[in-house]
Amino acid sequence: MRSKRDWGWALVGALLLIIGASFLWSGESGLLYHAPIYFKGQSWVDPWQAIIGGAFLCGLGLFLVANSLRKKKEDDQHNP
């Protein structure tokens, strides 16, 4: 019996990667050009906070994507 692909976790991981990359890009431009970080309204995130948060979100997204792909490969090996 074959298991279903775990597309939900992979999709959430990809979404976290996109959000994390936008935080990293905003934090980098904030540090280099001393520009405030605006998402909507006033600046509520400092550049270092954006870089740390973006790195955390990218790491979590990579973990979720890799974990969903790894589980699929393990299930295929155990259930021919």
Q: Is residue 26 part of a domain?
A: yes
Distance CA 47, CA 20 (A): 13
Q: Is residue 54 part of a domain?
A: yes
Q: What is the pLDDT of residue 42?
A: 60
Could you give the number of structural domains in the chain?
A: 1
Q: Is residue 64 part of a domain?
A: yes
In one-letter notation, the amino acid at residue 55 is A
Residue 53, domain extent: 7-37+44-78
Q: Is residue 28 part of a domain?
A: yes
* Number of other residues whose CB lies within 10 A of the CB of residue 42: 7
Tens digit of each residue's pLDDT (9 = 90 or more) over 24-67: 988 888 787 766 666 555 666 788 888 999 999 999 999 999 98
Q: Is residue 1 part of a domain?
A: no
Q: Is residue 29 part of a domain?
A: yes
